[in-house]
Amino acid sequence: MEMLTIGVVGAGVMGSDIAYLCARAGCAVLAYDIAPAQLDAGHLRRTQLIDRALTRGHLDTASADQLISRIRSTHQLGDLAVCDVIIEAVSERLDIKEVVFRALDEIAQPDALIASNTSGLSISHLAALTKRPSHIVGMHFFNPAVVMQLVELIEGAESSPAFMARAEHLARALGKTPVRVRECPGFLVNRILVRAMVASYREGATDTPSYHDIDAAITTRGPAPMGPYALGDLIGLDTMDLLQRDLAVAYGDRFDDGGALGAQVGAGRLGRKNGTGFVTDDHAQAHATPTRNAADTYYLAALDEALRCASEQIAAPSDIDLAMRLGAGWEIGPFSWASEQGVAQIARTLSARTDATDDVLRSIPIEEIIMEAVHHAPPSPEPNL
């Protein structure tokens, strides 16, 4: 890869990890944050990553010294005027990102690629704040960015093919697996994953098994490594509540969670971040035989949403499976799961479910999409070191 100069805006965990990845790939990096204390924290984070790589034998001392020398911290945004690429990784608040993009438009090189690491905010909206909307793309790294293989490449309404190709080339140079995603609320992985989770929450509000039992059913009978209750606690129930609300506004009742998240947040139960949640402070273990119904609820909801994404051409069917493997940690994607269950039977089951029988689903060629995904499945990428 041509040795680029890359600016990273935001020195939090994600920004620091992205800066580290860029330097590891041989690029010169300018790490910007408005707060000097945050810049110091970002430097410490990168030092810890380098120390870990040294301990594991992934770097030698000379390479580590070279890597750290490629990164320079700055609290002057104008210093990023020399950058070929700028990746924004500030807080997931639209008002903050709007300020950043307007400022970047004023100082960036005319031909610079400007990418946002947003996990769900509109790339088209951010691009429209600039005089160069064709140069703006989404590069959604998954947390922790050093470990997670997937980068969702988000195509906004005016993102040009040339700049999308540049972003894809950069992601591969960073050792990542890019999946192209046409912009939609929630993008791809979060949209499918949250749909499955809220289906479980909605059913769990009236069903008898414990949260532990539901999680056990899902991990025992399918490819997900963690059930929706433990995963919600890990993500943060306040964060999940905001995601669910935004997606319910965008897509309607199929993202209704039965009030489960609001009840937890209203009671001050936020998951692992404060030691309370669905299962975080409940040390009881699953005791019942995991029920097939709980697993079917979860995986059929994920499959339903994946089919909608494929039908809307948000991503190619094989890429949807790949994204769920690399971004959500599933052993196989939802289409491959459906294939293993029996395509014809799954199609009948999905079409018969009360929450899935609508005009959109009936118009989707379920079996064709599943078979296309399985037929064109790419090989598993090598894991990041």
- Is the peptide bond prior to 317 cis by the omega test (within 30 degrees of 0)? no
Q: 329: left (phi > 0), else alpha (psi -120 to 50), else beta?
A: left
For residues 326 and 315, give the distance between their C-alpha atoms in angstroms, rounded to a whole number. Answer: 15
Q: Is residue 294 within 8 Å of 208, Cβ to Cβ?
A: no
Residues comprising the chain, all counted = 385
For residues 301 and 66, give the distance between their C-alpha atoms in angstroms, rounded to a whole number. Answer: 48
Q: What is the DSSP string of 153-184?
A: EEE-TT--HHHHHHHHHHHHHTT-EEEEEE--
Residue labelled with tokens 């069903």: 207
Radius of gyration for the chain, computed over Cα atoms and rounded to the nearest angstrom: 21
Q: Quick check: is 140 catalytic?
A: yes
Q: 35: left (phi > 0), else alpha (psi -120 to 50), else beta?
A: beta
Residue 130 CB neighbour total at 10 angstroms: 18
Query: How would you class 7 by CB atoms within 10 Å of its CB: exposed for 0-12, middle for 13-18, buried for 19 or more?
Result: buried
Q: Is residue 213 within 8 Å of 290, Cβ to Cβ?
A: yes
For residues 179 and 323, give the distance between their C-alpha atoms in angstroms, rounded to a whole number. Answer: 7
One of 75, 140, 169, 283 is an active-site residue; which one?
A: 140
Q: Is residue 141 within 8 Å of 151, Cβ to Cβ?
A: yes
Q: 140: left (phi > 0), else alpha (psi -120 to 50), else beta?
A: beta
Element (H, E) at 192: helix 189-204
- Residue 299 tokens read as 């995986």
- Residue 14 tokens read as 């994600």
| Catalytic residue numbers, as ranges | 140
